[in-house]
Amino acid sequence: QKEVEQNSGPLSVPEGAIASLNCTYSDRGSQSFFWYRQYSGKSPELIMFIYSNGDKEDGRFTAQLNKASQYVSLLIRDSQPSDSATYLCAVARGTGNQFYFGTGTSLTVIP
Amino acid sequence: TAGITQAPTSQILAAGRSMTLRCTQDMRHNAMYWYRQDLGLGLRLIHYSNTAGTTGKGEVPDGYSVSRANTDDFPLTLASAVPSQTSVYFCASSEQGWTEAFFGQGTRLTVV
């Protein structure tokens, strides 16, 4: 079983819509959860992190964490063409300090 | 601000040759990581270091070695390159192992 699983997509949404990205993880001891955005040919850049159950909002982005279900999601409101990228979910274990990434979900926002 | 610098940006390497990918950070982060990224497989952890002087194996460590002599530098060495090591390699660092990681620009390595 992979540490972090994501639907690879591709996911297409019209401009202005809400994009919903999902991620599950296998280690119940995982401590920290992250969403990264990666444009083609570029390195991953951090969008959000979340440590506690519930929602965390930052501008158009909302991260949601449910530790009981081992589930993390990212909502992008008012999606823009510039949001078109691959979104990577990452999980850090509490011990060993290892960061694991999902394979990423490709998002296309259609003008 | 430099952040994390990787060198070289790209390299073509003959199979059987050795090579060291360099990674330097100026953020005084404790933890550092090496990943490889392959199409369809995502980012896979090769080796990590929690602090200077310590290293650990990730998901795909075979064929790679690392050292962490000081806080800033975390080189990755391929002792005898094979074509399956053709990939994009990313170095990353985080203040602590559970905090957000920041990435270098990547090294595109082709082994022929």
CB contact A45 to B (< 8 Å): yes
Please report the pLDDT score of residue A94 as a whole number.
61
User: With contact defined as beta carbons under 8 Å apart, do A14 and A107 qualify?
Assistant: no
**Along the 112 residues of chain B, how does pLDDT read in single tens digits?**
569 999 999 999 999 999 999 999 999 999 999 999 998 888 999 999 999 999 999 989 999 999 999 999 999 999 999 999 999 999 999 988 778 889 999 999 999 9
CB contacts < 8 Å between A and B, how many?
A: 63
* CB of A48 less than 8 A from some CB of B: no
Q: Spell out which residues of chain B touch residue A5, defining contact as CB-CB under 8 Å.
A: none
Chain A, 50 to 69: residues with Cβ < 8 Å from chain B are none
> How do residues B81-110 score in pLDDT, each as one tens digit?
999 999 999 999 998 877 888 999 999 999
Chain A residues touching residue B40 (CB < 8 angstroms):
8, 103
A103 vs B33, B40, B100: nearest CB: B40
Q: What is the pLDDT of residue B99?
A: 80
Q: Which pLDDT score is estimated for A97?
A: 61
Residue A106 touches partner B, C-beta closer than 8 Å: no
The Cα-based distances of A64 to A20, A35, A72, B44 in angstroms read 11, 11, 6, 24
Q: For residue A17, what pLDDT is reported?
A: 97
CB-closest option in A8, A45, A92 to B97: A92
The pLDDT tens digits along chain A (111 residues) read: 678 999 878 999 999 999 999 999 998 888 899 999 999 999 999 999 999 999 999 999 999 999 999 999 999 999 999 999 999 999 987 655 677 899 999 999 999
Residues 6+ apart with CB under 8 A from A13: A19, A79, A107, A108, A109, A110
The per-residue pLDDT for B14 is 98
Tokens of A71: 């589930």
Note whether B104 and B36 are within 8 A (CB): no
Chain B partners within 8 Å of A31 (Cβ): 98
Residue A68: predicted pLDDT: 94
The pLDDT value given to residue A95: 59
pLDDT on residue B42: 87
Q: Chain A: nearest CA to B19, how far in angstroms? A: 22
Q: In this complex, do A45 and B105 lie within 8 Å of one another by their Cβ atoms?
A: no
Residue A98, pLDDT score = 74
